[in-house]
């Protein structure tokens, strides 16, 4: 018996590419990100890549296990710091900025908004949170991350969420992510076969932290603790 919901998603999936074309690489991949800031020894955390399989769009959201570990470290830091002041300094008490419009310049139009400085209590809470994050980043936490993957039907593509210990620093390496996802979908391989016995743990994290972070990508990944998730997990249409 057909499932009306899946039938609807299938129709949407076939219709979407007609009005939203992907710019594919010579290898037939949709590569939305650039790698100008990645060197041969850079640590990579997440990436996205798309391809066509049997007439369907496949969108892969890849994360390295260290990105899962980093997110857990950040979450633990927030929990340890506790609830901070309800300052709302980003949205309340700011200054509205205007620009002149029209030929006479007598009229004005709101053009931007300048937030006020956080309160002293809020600043102290952020400082406390930063200290906790630095300690947990330095010491690590008790956590084990294993490779995993799942896929789901969306209205515009088949989405694959993939956690695998690959390094993605250029288009050649992101192609390996696409190749792995394709073979997983077609059941030509499994993560257990590709990464037998792999576990990312505290020792792995400390080993990574001992490597010099020389890229913008690595630094931004470490600064992302104030975000509850990595950018790669967004399921919005590209």
* Sequence ranges of the domains in the chain: 4-77+144-233, 89-135
Give Cα 185 to chain centroid, integer Å.
22
Local structure of 147: helix, strand or coil: coil
Q: How far apart are CA 89 and CA 101, in angstroms?
A: 29
Helix (H) or strand (E) holding 220: helix 216-223
Q: How far apart are CA 75 and CA 73, in angstroms?
A: 5
* pTM: predicted TM-score of the whole model, two decimal places: 0.77
pLDDT of residue 165: 97
Asked if 178 and 78 touch (Cβ cutoff 8 Å), the reply is: no
Q: Would you give per-residue pLDDT tens digits along the chain (238 residues)?
A: 566 655 555 555 555 655 567 888 888 999 999 999 899 989 999 999 999 998 889 999 999 999 999 999 999 999 998 887 777 767 777 788 888 877 776 778 888 878 778 788 888 888 898 999 999 999 999 999 999 999 998 888 899 999 999 999 999 999 999 999 999 999 999 999 999 999 999 999 999 988 855 333 434 444 455 454 455 556 666 6
Token pair, residue 193, equals 């076969």
Token pair, residue 205, equals 């994290």
pLDDT of residue 66: 95
pLDDT of residue 229: 43
Q: How far apart are CA 185 and CA 76, in angstroms?
A: 34
């Amino acid at each position: 018996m057909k499932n009306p919901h899946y039938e609807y998603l299938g129709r949407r999936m076939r219709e979407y590419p007609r009005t939203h074309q992907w710019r594919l690489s010579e290898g037939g991949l949709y590569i939305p990100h650039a790698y100008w800031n990645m060197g041969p020894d850079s640590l990579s955390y997440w990436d996205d890549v798309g391809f066509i399989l049997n007439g369907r769009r496949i969108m892969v959201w890849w994360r390295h296990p260290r990105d899962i570990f980093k997110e857990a470290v950040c979450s633990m830091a927030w929990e340890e710091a506790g609830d901070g002041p309800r300052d709302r300094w980003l949205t309340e008490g700011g200054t509205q900025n205007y620009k002149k419009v029209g030929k006479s310049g007598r009229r004005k139009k709101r053009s931007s908004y300048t937030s006020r400085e956080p309160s002293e209590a809020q600043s102290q809470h952020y400082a406390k949170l930063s200290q906790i994050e630095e300690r947990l980043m330095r010491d690590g936490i008790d956590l084990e991350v294993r490779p995993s993957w799942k896929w789901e039907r969306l209205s515009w593509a088949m989405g694959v969420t993939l956690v695998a210990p690959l390094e993605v620093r250029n288009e050649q390496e992101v192609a390996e992510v696409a190749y792995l996802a394709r073979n997983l979908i077609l059941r030509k391989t499994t993560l257990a076969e590709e990464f037998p016995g792999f576990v990312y743990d505290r020792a792995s994290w400390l080993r990574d932290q001992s490597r010099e972070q020389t890229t913008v990508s690595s630094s931004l990944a470490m600064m992302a603790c104030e975000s509850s998730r990595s950018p790669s997990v967004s399921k919005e249409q590209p």
